[in-house]
Amino acid sequence: MSAAIDITWLGMAAAYLLVLISFAILLWQQVPILGQLGMAVVRMSVQLLFVGVYLQYVFDLNNIWLNCAWVLIMITVADVSILHHCRLRVRSFGAPLFVALLLGTLIPLLFFTGLILQRPNILEARYLIPIGGMILGNCLRADIIGVRHFYESIDRDSRAFELTLAQGARLGEAIQPYLREAIQNAVAPTIATMMTIGLVSLPGMMTGVILGGQPPLAAVKYQIAIMIAIFTGTAIAVPCAILLTRKRGFLPSGPLNREVLVD
């Protein structure tokens, strides 16, 4: 099979023409998000062009230190995003969440490049960065759901939580039902995706591999491997995130430390 056809600049202009159809529909229905849509299209274009230029440079150079640095930058950005979406204070939780994301991303990522793809250089930019990004993106989403669910449910159930401590539970025993529920909530979307994958739409990675010129069966193998890697990443990142933030998330005597929550 041939490699993917590069879209010409004229073709790209046609893509932007397509946006005009959605603009027209929103204008017709007077949906007040025209400004947001315009901004989103501009931001998407600028961000992706920047990333495209940078990645081209990184791929050409293929320096393992630069590749690792890029992955660490992606994890740092994801870390800040989790703190923002979970209503948690950066100073308290930044470091433990970073470690959780690092473990959740690197373990399945290195497994993927080393044992599944069997690359001689497991830190090769072409594989490390896009696959790392896919795993990290899902760890980020799962951590936001899991960590937020964990602390919010304990905050909401503070009286029941304190009764549990008063009944003699250690902190690990008291948080166990909340931890279990948080993990379940965080991994549920990935499980739901796995249940319906391929039936509703072709997943992104599979589409990319097919467009890249590989036969569908090769694309399916990539997709199965990445879904397992994503699930493994989320299953590692969420409990790690919760357990690593536990020391700062609770007072030494057991109750939730409300100072770590942003009002």
Give contact residues for another protein (rule: CB under 8 A).
Answer: 157, 159-160, 162-170, 173, 177, 251-255
Q: How far, in Å, CA of 253 to CA of 165, rounded?
A: 9
40-44, long-range: CB < 8 A, 24+ apart: 41/16
Q: Do 231 and 187 meet the contact criterion of CB atoms below 8 Å apart?
A: yes
Nearest Cα to Cα of residue 175 among 98, 99, 247: 247
User: For another protein, which is the closer residue by CB, 176 or 207?
Assistant: 176
Q: How far, in Å, CA of 24 to CA of 34, rounded?
A: 10
**Burial class of residue 183 (count of CB atoms within 10 Å of its CB; 0-12, 13-18, 19+):** buried
User: For another protein, which is the closer residue by CB, 178 or 231?
Assistant: 178
CB of 243 to another protein, least distance (A): 18
In three-state secondary structure terms, 5 is coil
CB of 67 to another protein, least distance (A): 45
CB of 179 to another protein, least distance (A): 15
User: For another protein, which is the closer residue by CB, 84 or 247?
Assistant: 247
Q: How far, in Å, CA of 250 to CA of 260, rounded?
A: 9
User: For another protein, which is the closer residue by CB, 51 or 173?
Assistant: 173
**CB under 8 Å to 76, separation ≥6 — which residues?**
98
CB of 151 to another protein, least distance (A): 17
Give the DSSP letter of residue 259: G
**CB under 8 Å to 157, separation ≥6 — which residues?**
178
CB of 259 to another protein, least distance (A): 12
User: For another protein, which is the closer residue by CB, 120 or 168?
Assistant: 168
User: For another protein, which is the closer residue by CB, 117 or 165?
Assistant: 165
CB of 158 to another protein, least distance (A): 8
